[in-house]
Amino acid sequence: MIGIISAFGATISWTYACFIWRSQTEKYKSIDINLVKNIIAFLIFLPAFTNMSIMNDLKSVLTLLLSGVIGIGLGDTFYLKSLQLIGTRKTLSIETASPLLAALSGQIFINENLTLRSYLGIVIISISLFTLLKKRNNLVVNSLTTIKKNNFKIYIYPLLSVLCAVLGGLLSRMVFLERDLSPFQTTEIRLLGAIIFLITINNFRVDFFLKKLDSNDQKRFLLSIFLGTNLGILLQQIVFKTLPLGIGWTLLSTSPVISLFYAKKEEGQITKTIIFFTVLLFLGLCFVIL
């Protein structure tokens, strides 16, 4: 039960944070936003390192560092870039493929055999999410970005975001199956891996743009870091520790429904089709959870 609660908590935290981060993608580079948020989040959770013997868990530490590089360093950067180029709706539409990909990855690489009912629930949820997102035609796309209608190259960013996020989750799940590390410790190690990677490819330059924001925007951005990065990744790690990858990732992928409560101004009329597929989505969740 704690894994299920953590999944929905992570989804709520991450969704709220994304609305704040997206507003910054119009002004600053995705890699700079990702780097700054990870550095601040790492400093907040720094005490988690005090009770860990790195040498005794070297293999796990290296795996988690790689997980951070792939899942947070690359995955979040691709996600933010996708929000900038194609907007929220299209990004989330493509990411509806992630639950099924996570379930297959768990079965192939770590022998997590889900029941037929669980797979049915995952498919129902993916279809429902995709349909709901297609119906949300009023979501704002970055007005500063001109997108050619047939420029399919930009869709590589959300696809890479999905692949990196699932692979990062898979590596975390593998560590939890082998070692008894706390979610706090694994969160901090993954953040460190992401920071080392991002600061390296950014030529050891950090654009600390936070000082350029006004007071209210600074507070909102710091809150988004705590909720989306610290709390969000911590709860995500609890999910990876307590639930099979496919089931956990499916629950973590319900952010488009949660976003309805955050961005009513972005939504069009609630139609019967939207109501139907929302109910169908929760039916799928019952198949997965029960």
Least confident range of 111-120, 132-141, 183-192, 218-227: 132-141
Please state the rounded mean pLDDT for residues 175-198. Answer: 93
Q: What is the CA radius of gyration of the chain?
A: 18
Per-residue model confidence as pLDDT tens digits over 122-174? 999 889 888 877 765 444 444 434 444 456 677 899 999 999 999 999 999 99
Per-residue model confidence as pLDDT tens digits over 19-37? 777 777 677 888 888 999 9
Domain ranges of the chain: 2-289
- pLDDT reading at 71 higher than 50: yes
From the list 229, 175, 239, 167, the residue with the least C-alpha distance to 17 is 229
35 and 206 Cβ atoms separated by less than 8 Å: yes
128 and 284 Cβ atoms separated by less than 8 Å: yes
